[in-house]
Amino acid sequence: MKPLDEVTRQASEWLRGVGPLSDIVISSRIRLARNVRGYVFLSRADADTRTELAELLQAAIRRSRDLEGLVHLDLERLDDLDRAVLVERHLISRQHAEGSGARRVAFDGNEVAALMINEEDHLRVQVMRSGLQLDQAWEQISSIDDALQENLEFAFHPKYGYLTACPTNVGTGIRVSVMLHLPALRLTNELEKVFQAAKEMRLAIRGFHGEGTEALGDLFQISNQVTLGRTEIEIIEDFRDAIIPRIVEYERAARTSLLKNRLHALDDKIWRALGTLQNARLISSSEAMQYLSHLRMGVHTGRLKNIELQTLNELFLQTQPAHLQKLQGERLTGEQRSYVRASLIRARLSRN
Amino acid sequence: MGLCERCRKAQATFHLTNIDASGAKQERHLCERCAIEEGLVQIAKPVPDVAELLEGLVATGKSASALANIVCEECGISYVEFRNQGLLGCPNDYDAFEEPLRRLLERAHDGATQHVGKAPKAVGPRRLVIQDLRRLKRRLAEAIAAEDYERAARLRDEIRQLEGS
């Protein structure tokens, strides 16, 4: 797979570390769930229907304005390692990677927009940007949705809105997810403030890879649950104007308090992380993410001067199992991966 | 606010008062982590999952078995099958299962049952869309089989137009 070999060498757009509040807000993602009118949902679709849907959706994407020139991949023709690379880059979900039957994905060269065909719904469109850029993401995804609707009719109900396979997504079919880096709140043991704030607004909190995952590297994903009875804009405003500024403020306060009252403890975390990453000979993915998280905090609190944010962002991605094996050009066992990961990190951090 | 009495590190945010059988009062002050570790609170779970919602529905519904046996005429799935897999079979299920689904939707969406967001643009005559291709091709095959060449030619042009545009 040529295109995937190339993409593994760079960080995705959403990991560029730019955009508003990017010291705390890693990325903003919006996803829309859509189903083609006149077809059963995937749980009732036989192999032929799935294939027909895949062809039909791919044709519609190819014909839609602004969606020319996307990379189209057939998941059935990719091996498990390539599919895992796409999951690590958040271009497809784990469910999509591990599913069966006709499944495709299309995404643009910058990996901002991605369209998953035959995941839980016939089509799931996502737009992902770095920092807090929900308005831009909404503008783009809504325009993609409009363009697709010039060539396709989606299942829509006057009362229930866009119909989805799972009733928890019905209506707008929107899922807004903001990924946050909250190392100081974890160090000061104040994460419960964040959980409380999210709970009050009926938002879900998950780890780095979404549903059912741990908060590796102090990264948390906050997303809406309610999709019916509120407009897309209202849902986005909850994030943009209410929850995100509040959490950002908590994290900033925790960072300030660490700098002011517990500087030695903060420095100790940062420099131990650097020491470990510059010297370890074997390191697991979760350990690497934890220390990279502390380095990132070091950069953003101004305690670490000689490390580029870009290097850290690339390492976040490239130290994950599938990326590591792709970069190495061979399949590796767990222990081999720990060795290769440690070597890669040492090489990158000494170059700084 | 004081520190957690268990770990003595984090702020205590859970303040519990127990009164035992003898009437003696016991107060505890814990941080969230310790409270979770002691099994005193559940880890935050803002919205119950579908399985849970359905369990609740069937447990409270007076005509649960009648509702469970509703079958969608279009895809053949029964409400109980939906309940087991958590996914609907086709768009028509929203109407076929209207009654049991309504309560589920209300619980999942903060009481809402009416969509207010974006809707498809419905202006002018209905446009030909990709999914019409399938239908046209099927009709073309029928027309050819019936040796209705005039109709076949017309269908062929329509298909070409749709494919070429």
In eight-state DSSP terms, residue A226 is -
pLDDT at A157: 95
Residues of A in contact with B30 (CB under 8 A): none
Residues of B in contact with A44 (CB under 8 A): 75-77, 89-90
pLDDT at A141: 97
Q: What percent of chain A has pLDDT over 90?
A: 79
pLDDT at B124: 47
Is the pLDDT higher at A239 or at B124? A239
A115: nearest Cα among A81, A91, A84, A146: A91
The number of CA neighbours under 13 Å toward the Cβ of A258 is 28
Residue A304: C-alpha distances to residues A16, A269, A271, A282, A340 (Å): 19, 12, 9, 24, 25
Residue B126 has pLDDT above 60, yes or no: no
Q: Are A172 and A235 in contact (CB under 8 A)?
A: yes
Burial of A310 (0-12, 13-18, 19+ CB in 10 A): middle
Return the residue of B nearest to A145 by Cα.
B120
Residue A12 has pLDDT above 90, yes or no: no
A312: nearest Cα among A1, A2, A26: A26
Give per-residue pLDDT as tens, A273-324.
999 999 999 999 989 999 999 999 999 999 999 898 889 988 999 999 999 9
Query: Per the CB < 8 Å rule, is B90 touching A149?
Result: no
Query: Per the CB < 8 Å rule, is B90 touching A40?
Result: yes
Q: Which helix (H) or strand (E) holds A179?
A: strand A174-181
Residue B48 has pLDDT above 60, yes or no: no
Give per-residue pLDDT as tens, A103-123.
999 999 999 999 999 999 999
Query: Per the CB < 8 Å rule, is B105 touching A228?
Result: yes
Query: Per the CB < 8 Å rule, is B116 touching A231?
Result: yes
Is the pLDDT higher at A294 or at B133? A294
pLDDT at B83: 87
Q: At what angle do helices B50-60 and B98-108 cross, to 10 degrees?
A: 120
Inter-chain CB pairs, A–B, below 8 Å: 161
pLDDT band at B139 (very low <50, low <70, confident <90, very high): confident
Of A195, A198, A229, the CB nearest to B110: A229
Residues of B in contact with A203 (CB under 8 A): 46
Q: Are B31 and A189 in contact (CB under 8 A)?
A: yes
Residues of A in contact with B32 (CB under 8 A): 191-192, 195
> Mean pLDDT score of chain A, rounded to an integer?
92
Residues of B in contact with A199 (CB under 8 A): 44, 46
Residue A85 has pLDDT above 60, yes or no: yes
A256 CB-near residues (< 8 Å, 6+ apart): none
pLDDT at A124: 98
> In angstroms, rounded to a whole number, what is the distance separating the alpha carbons of residues B31 and B44?
14
In eight-state DSSP terms, residue B13 is -
Q: Which helix (H) or strand (E) holds A127?
A: strand A123-130
Of A150, A172, A202, the CB nearest to B117: A172
> Which of B101, B105, B118 to mutate against chain A (most A CBs within 10 Å)?
B118
pTM for this prediction: 0.81
Of A42, A162, A227, the CB nearest to B109: A227
Q: Are A339 and A282 in contact (CB under 8 A)?
A: yes
Question: ∠ at Cα A188 (A185, A190), nearest 5°?
Answer: 55
Return the residue of A nearest to B78 by Cα.
A44
Question: ∠ at Cα B74 (B73, B78), nearest 5°?
Answer: 55
> In angstroms, rounded to a whole number, what is the distance separating the alpha carbons of residues A344 and A323?
12
